[in-house]
């Protein structure tokens, strides 16, 4: 099964759309992900990430719903997207 996980975009770097990278927080765990597929993404947006690539921008409400479902399934250890920094 494939799963995309929501995270909050903290920082953007890179010179052009193909080399854009972002630091994304997944409930406090921060990872570097490619933003090549979401040129519209901005700092503090929520993005869905699969295997290190942000696939889409989603709203905060949708991110919270996904975290709640994953938590209910026992797939998360009390992770929460939290408020914007």
What confidence tens digit (pLDDT) does each residue in 25-79 have?
987 889 999 999 999 999 999 999 999 999 999 998 998 888 788 778 776 554 4
Domain 1-48, second-level architecture? Roll (2.30)
59, two tokens: 């709203």
Q: Return the pLDDT at 83.
A: 55
**What torsion, rounded to 10 degrees, do the Cα atoms 13, 36, 52, 50 define?**
140
The partner residues of 46 in beta bridges, in order of sequence, read 8, 58
Q: Structural domain boundaries of the chain?
A: 1-48
Q: Is the CB of residue 48 less than 8 Å from the CB of residue 5?
A: yes
Of residues 27 and 13, more confidently modeled: 13
């Amino acid at each position: 099964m494939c799963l995309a996980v929501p995270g909050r975009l903290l920082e953007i770097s890179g010179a052009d759309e193909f080399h854009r990278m972002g630091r994304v927080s997944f409930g406090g765990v921060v990872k570097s992900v490619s933003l090549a597929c979401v040129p519209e993404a901005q700092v503090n947006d929520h993005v869905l990430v699969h295997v290190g690539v942000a696939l889409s921008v989603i709203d905060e409400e949708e991110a919270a719903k996904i975290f709640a479902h994953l938590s209910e399934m026992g797939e998360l250890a009390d992770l929460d997207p939290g408020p914007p920094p």
